[in-house]
């Protein structure tokens, strides 16, 4: 199933950041975060999804737990915007270089302002997309924040 390194992995290698790759079979079409967590055998609390939003000031990236929902008001506050909306799926590849379901916070076409939900700090490692469907990378949330110049903040709806 291995298809070689993704852009995200190459950037982590170049920065000498330690990570572990996890691959999963996506032939069944189940690529949602909870299904991916089950397929790679990692508790879903440690698996995070990458969401791209847009506001008056441009694009903003949010890395949030797969079982959580991004709170757009909190996201706007974190980004210093009055309002942010989800970037339409049809525009994801145009702006990030990635497709829906394989969007990594690492290695986008540009380094957009990035925010990681503070829940990530509770773990020594979290899992994010490696930049293609079927591949995930596990790394320290603090190393992730460092590599994408992210800040930690509360941006998900309270459950």
Rounded mean pLDDT, 109-134: 96
Where do the domains of the chain lie? Answer: 14-153
Residues 60 and 84 sit within 8 Å (Cβ to Cβ): yes
Sign of CA pseudo-dihedral 139, 34, 68, 122:
negative
- Residue ranges in the chain assigned as alpha helix (H): 7-14, 33-40, 72-79, 89-96, 141-147
The tens digit of pLDDT for each residue in 11-61 reads: 999 999 999 999 998 888 888 888 899 999 999 999 999 999 999 999 999
Q: What kind of fold does domain 14-153 have according to CATH?
A: YbaK protein (3.90.960)
- pLDDT of 3 > 90? The answer is no
Confidence (pTM)? 0.94
The tens digit of pLDDT for each residue in 82-92 reads: 999 999 999 99
């Amino acid at each position: 199933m291995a298809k070689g390194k993704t852009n995200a992995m190459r950037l982590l290698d170049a920065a000498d950041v330690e990570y572990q790759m996890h691959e999963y079979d996506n032939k069944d079409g189940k690529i949602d975060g909870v299904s991916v967590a089950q397929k790679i055998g990692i508790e879903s609390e440690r698996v995070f999804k990458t969401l791209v939003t847009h506001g008056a000031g441009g694009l903003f990236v949010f890395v949030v737990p797969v079982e959580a929902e991004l709170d757009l008001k909190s996201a706007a506050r974190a980004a210093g915007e009055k309002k942010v909306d989800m970037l339409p799926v049809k525009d994801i590849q145009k702006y990030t270089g990635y497709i829906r379901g394989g969007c990594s916070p690492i290695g986008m076409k540009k380094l957009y302002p990035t925010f990681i939900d503070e829940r990530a700090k509770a773990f020594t490692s979290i899992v994010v997309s490696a930049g293609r469907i079927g591949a995930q990378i596990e790394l320290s949330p603090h190393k992730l924040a460092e590599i994408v110049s992210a800040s930690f903040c509360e941006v998900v709806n309270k459950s």
